[in-house]
Amino acid sequence: MFRPFRALLFAGLAAFAAAGSTHGGQYPAPQWDQAGSRPADGRLSVMTYNIKGLPWPVALGREAALSDIADRLALLRRSGRQPHVILLQEAFTPEAAEIAARAGYLHVAHGPDAAQPSAMVAGSADRPYLAEARWDRGEGIGKQLGSGLQILSDYPISRIDRMAFPDFACAGFDCLANKGVLIAHLTVPGFDRPVSIVNTHLNARAAAGVSIDRSQRAYARQVGLMMQFVAAHVPAGQPMVLGGDMNIGKDARRADLFFTRFAQAGMNFIGPHLGGARRALAQSACTDAAMRRDLLFASGKAKDWLFARDARDQPLPVAAAHVPFGSEPGGTSLSDHFGYVIDYALTAPIRVATRDQVGETL
């Protein structure tokens, strides 16, 4: 009986926390030592990680965990094992925004901030949906947080494309954040064209706090809009990695919708059996037993995905997999998601940034 009250309190607390902590997740980066980066050895390593960088009091005690994430990434760099590219979701707070600099990433792209409007106009089919907005579930009261999306890169970023989902493509508490799509086009030495990295975080299902039908409708609109945006901003014949928190989960309707839409767009490197984690497990590319268990768990949850293609629109070969952020020794984890890395095999030699190169935060 107290659910509506709790929902209203959540929305108010989220707005209060957002006003006091972040506006779009963009902060001046502190100066940290940029440790040397390892040679790529013909590989492109990519990590996806929902870090649960939510503001207080929506999430409690996240400062220490986010600091530990930054410290571990810095340690990986010092040992020459850092991912070349990281896709972060829920990077809302100042502590989350500091991860890139503390971990030594010279190039950072941010997704839509709280102020970025959507360029899409509601059609006749969208207006009834908007008319039924639940303000006590965070709908129709404005964006209190940015997208929480970041792309961290050892390679220079030549261009960034951003899209914010419109109000008719969000449901429930997810509408408090300006979710959308972030594309960073990387200049990778040895390649005559950019490598495009796509990061997104799609609408939750039951956790959105509204009916399943409503969250499913928003999800369908988001997938369609993302597919169109990616097709418009990543040319055919350009290598691409697409990943993030897709929030598919165990929902067969969501899985069918997601993979069907991208298949219809001719993006044949995106399929349920072509996710990086599933391919790594199928070919035993994760050799550490504990990490393999964590990768199996992440793959089974079916929320965090990575897909990659080459210039011929063929799936990039998976060379190895690692789980730097899985089960901790005490049985806990640093987030409610695991952060895993897929090493993709490339056909051209590439290099990564060193401490002597000048970085830019975009």
Give pLDDT tens digits for 203-225. 999 999 999 999 999 999 999 99
Does pLDDT of 318 surpass 50?
Answer: yes
Q: Give the tokens for residue 350.
A: 């590439």
Domains of the chain listed by start with CATH number: 3-26+42-361 (3.60.10.10)
Percent of the chain scoring above 70 in pLDDT: 83
- Whole-number pLDDT of residue 348: 56
In the block, tokens 């990086």 appear at 276
Element (DSSP H or E) covering residue 240: strand 240-245
CA 111 to CA 350: how far, in whole Å?
A: 26
CA 190 and chain centroid, separation: 26
- Sign of the C-alpha dihedral, residues 121, 125, 128, 133? negative
Tell me: pLDDT of 32 over 50: no
Q: What is the pLDDT of residues 6-15, one digit of tens each?
A: 444 454 444 4
Q: What is the DSSP letter of 13?
A: H
Q: List CB contacts of 12: < 8 A, sequence separation 6 or more.
A: none
pLDDT reported for residue 30: 35
The pLDDT of 165-172, averaged and rounded, is 96
Q: What is the mean pLDDT of the chain?
A: 87
Token pair listed for 87: 């896709």
According to DSSP, the β-strands at 360-361 and 107-110 are: parallel
Dihedral-angle region of residue 77 (phi above 0 means left; psi in -120 to 50 means alpha; beta otherwise): alpha
Predicted TM-score (pTM) of this structure: 0.88
Q: What is the pLDDT of residues 67-118, one digit of tens each?
A: 999 999 999 999 999 999 999 999 999 999 999 999 999 999 999 999 999 9
Instruction: Give the integer Cα–Cα distance in Å for 356 and 145.
Output: 35
Q: Which amino acid is at 212?
A: I
Question: Looking at residue 347, what is its pLDDT?
Answer: 66
238-285: per-residue pLDDT in tens? 999 999 999 999 999 999 999 999 999 999 999 999 999 999 999 999
- 358, pLDDT greater than 80: no
Is residue 331 very low, low, confident or very high in pLDDT (cuts 50, 70, 90)? confident
Q: Residue 230: pLDDT above 80?
A: yes
- CA–CA distance from 4 to each of 11, 56, 130, 143 (Å)? 11, 21, 20, 20
> Contact at 8 Å (CB) between 201 and 267?
no
Amino acid identity of residue 35, one-letter, is A
Q: What is the pLDDT of residue 21?
A: 38
pLDDT-derived band of residue 24, with 50, 70 and 90 as boundaries? very low
